[in-house]
Amino acid sequence: MSYHTRSNSGPLGPHPIIQEVDEHLCRLRSSEATSTSSSSISHKLSALQDLHECVDRLVQLPLTQQALAQEKHQKWTNELLDGSLRLLDICGIAKDSLFQTKGSIQDLQSIIRRRHGDESAVLTSEARKYLTSRKMVKKTIRKASANLKANRSTFSSLENNQKTITIASKLRDVEAITLTVFESVLSFIYGPKSKPSSWSFVSSIVHSKRIVCEEAEVNEFAEVDAAFKSLKSVHVQNQLSNLESCIEDQEEGLESLFRQLIKNRVSLLNILNH
């Protein structure tokens, strides 16, 4: 995605909050090329939270509310509202995907702790359930990612006063960078692109003694897959615990951001509906 720097000239241009929004945007853009590791995703979500808190302060400014209220019948104001809903939808999908995966992990951990009899058979059976759940999550993410690409905002031209242009431009930029971060989050949850496989392949490695990982960069999801290949109980439990902890970190960031997105959308609705 390409971005364009817009002038902050106009009545609202010099306001410190506008400048603060620009600073947050620049930091997030500079982090786009970083890896999609757990720590990188956490950092991006934290930075995104800071940005949207700043946006909330921008929207609460009397001059902002006056400018948007004056233009509330313009097409682009509806696009801003549509954009805020789009952000909530994709954030919700990311949250649900993490929640579902964590549930599968916790089920696996419970079974591993109390398994009896044929260790390999039990783990193989539970791994099947986990992989089925992961397949459903990945299907949801693929669909969400496709919708993101198909519905990139095509904003109306701004032909009104400079004050309104500045505000709308910033809100558009915020939506664009937020979608980019969410794409990184979905990519993280999806995990590395796997090679063609089937359950027969998983079964064939039940008795493997070594972990073979061909991915150049392995995230926590790939590490759990590798742990299944080794089927060493301690290693499997460690990897599941690491992934669960990683997921909880992302859940916390997304939940906090989700609440902030709701708050910002309500503020926009209040301005444009009065």
Digit-coded pLDDT (tens) for 125-148:
777 788 888 889 999 999 998 888
258 part of a folded domain: yes
The arithmetic mean of pLDDT across residues 73-102, rounded, is 90
33 part of a folded domain: yes
Q: Would you say residue 197 has pLDDT above 50? A: no
The arithmetic mean of pLDDT across residues 16-24, rounded, is 91
- Tell me what pLDDT residue 53 has: 96
Classify residue 62 as exposed, middle or buried by CB count within 10 Å of its CB (0-12, 13-18, 19+). exposed
Q: How close are the terminal C-alpha atoms of the chain, in Å?
A: 34
Q: What is the pLDDT of residues 213-246, one digit of tens each?
A: 334 455 787 778 666 655 555 567 778 888 999 9
Tokens of 34: 């970083």
Which residues, in sequence order, are CB contacts of 38 under 8 Å at separation 6+? 188, 219, 220, 246, 249, 250
5 part of a folded domain: no
8 close to 19: Cβ distance less than 8 angstroms: yes
Q: What is the pLDDT of residues 43-67, one digit of tens each?
A: 999 999 999 999 999 999 988 888 8
- Tell me what pLDDT residue 33 has: 63
Q: Would you say residue 206 has pLDDT above 70? A: no
9 part of a folded domain: no
Please tell me the total count of domains within the chain: 1
Cα–Cα distance for residue pair 10/153, rounded to 1 Å: 25
For the chain, what is the radius of gyration of the CA atoms? 22
Q: Which of 28, 126, 85 minimizes the C-alpha distance to 262?
A: 85
Cα–Cα distance for residue pair 102/117, rounded to 1 Å: 26
1 part of a folded domain: no
More confident residue, 101 or 197: 101
Residue ranges making up the domain that contains 246: 16-272
54 part of a folded domain: yes
67-72, long-range: CB < 8 A, 24+ apart: 67/12, 67/161, 67/163, 67/164, 67/167, 68/164, 68/167, 68/268, 68/271, 68/272, 69/271, 69/272, 69/274, 70/161, 70/164, 71/160, 71/164, 72/271, 72/272
Q: Which of 258, 251, 260, 259 minimizes the C-alpha distance to 42?
A: 251
Q: Model-level pTM?
A: 0.79
215 part of a folded domain: yes
